[in-house]
Amino acid sequence: MAEPLFINPFTDFGFKKIFGEEQNKDLLIDFLNELLAAQNQHISNLVFKKNDRLGSDDLDRKVVFDLYCENDQGEKFTVELQKAKQSFFKDRMLYYSSFSVQEQGQKGDWNYQLKAIYVIAILDFIMDEDNSDKIVVSKNKMMDIERYKVFYDKLTFVTLQMPNFTKEEHELENNFDKWLYVIKNLHRLDHIPEKIQERVFQKLFKVASYTALSKEEKAKYEDSLKYYNDLKNSLDTAQEDGYQEGYQEAQTIYEAKLDVEKQRVAQEKQRAEQEKQRAEQEKQRAEQEKQRAEQEKQRAEQLYQDKLQTLQRMRQAGLSDADICAFLNISFEELEGMTNLSSDE
């Protein structure tokens, strides 16, 4: 079987490789700026934050976000890739937002002012049962239902229903169209589209190149791709047969596998961080040992200078070599060496 040209961004590995690595965060920044342009949102920098959270106590279920980051203004961005339809997906998005709210709480006197929160979900399925309007991007805020006016402007839920994006390459009108086209079709491409030549996409194609992956990365990608294909096959079969129970069972099995995979990735990240901390501690210990050695050397040199000065004074006082050796606790050979050194100085 021929190798693909690019990795699949709907796999966990592919999504994290393209959008979740520090050296590639300019890709995520560009995508979010295009997505949120209508909100006058412009992100100049992002900091990746810890992407796992516990509930109110250690017995609560652990939540692992795909990506969780913060811009220079302290605004929070949770970016999730969802492959399978869920019965309570909107509830899940609201639950995710609660962690971004809670972590902004401050002890002591606090006026409850919050930074803006964005929960963004890229969906590989149709979320709404009524799909007649074929909406691709939906942006939602809390609203006053009587006056049709935004009640709270700092909490935004954004969903991208990727199956509803059907534009072909020749129909792409702007950079956001190009982002949607690339996300949906990247793993199917056998060449770089002529209409998508901007620098940010050139970097994306380079980052997403399958042949550029290391042997270890390819193994991780293949495992992630297997999870994705197993889920798609199970869900497609369940839907074709009309078995809602089978659909839910397939989704449950995949979610369990996904949780295990996310926990494994989080553990690997934690181990890497611990190794980094240990290396830093070893470096600090080595530096401390070097400083101690330098201090010992300086003390030894100072003691030797003190002995030389004492020797000179004892010579001037007319003491014998035997008395000097006894006082300084040195041998006659050491005395001779010190005398020659003192004469040279």
**Pick from 74-83, 248-257, 269-278: least confident:** 248-257
The rounded distance, in Å, linking the Cα atoms of 231 and 84 is: 8
The rounded distance, in Å, linking the Cα atoms of 120 and 123 is: 10
DSSP tag of 4: P
Strand partners, 77: 69, 118
| Residue 53: strand, helix, or coil | strand
Most distant pair of Cα atoms in the chain: their distance = 114
Count of other CB atoms within 10 angstroms of residue 59: 7
The rounded distance, in Å, linking the Cα atoms of 291 and 318 is: 41
Residue 240 pLDDT > 60:
no
Q: Is 40 left (phi over 0), alpha (psi -120 to 50) or beta?
A: left
**What is the mean pLDDT of the segment spanning 62-83?**
86
Residue 256 pLDDT > 70:
no
pLDDT digits (tens, 9 = 90+) for 182-206: 999 999 999 999 999 999 999 999 9
Residue 130 pLDDT > 80:
no
- Determine what percent of the chain is predicted with pLDDT higher than 90: 45
Backbone phi, then psi, for 18, in 5-degree steps? -80, -45
Identify the pLDDT of residue 341.
67
Residue 108 pLDDT > 60:
yes
Candidates 61, 45, 140, 49; CA nearest to 103 is: 49
| Residue 320: strand, helix, or coil | coil
Identify the pLDDT of residue 207.
96
Cβ-Cβ contacts under 8 Å for 186 (sequence gap 6 or more): 6, 7, 8, 9, 208
Whose tokens are 């290391």? That residue is 214
Residue 116 pLDDT > 70:
yes
Task: Give me the helices (H) in the chain, please.
Answer: 12-19, 25-35, 89-102, 175-185, 199-207, 215-241, 244-316, 321-328, 332-344
Count of other CB atoms within 10 angstroms of residue 79: 23
The rounded distance, in Å, linking the Cα atoms of 296 and 303 is: 10
pTM above 0.85, yes or no: no
Task: Give me the amino acid identity at 219.
Answer: A
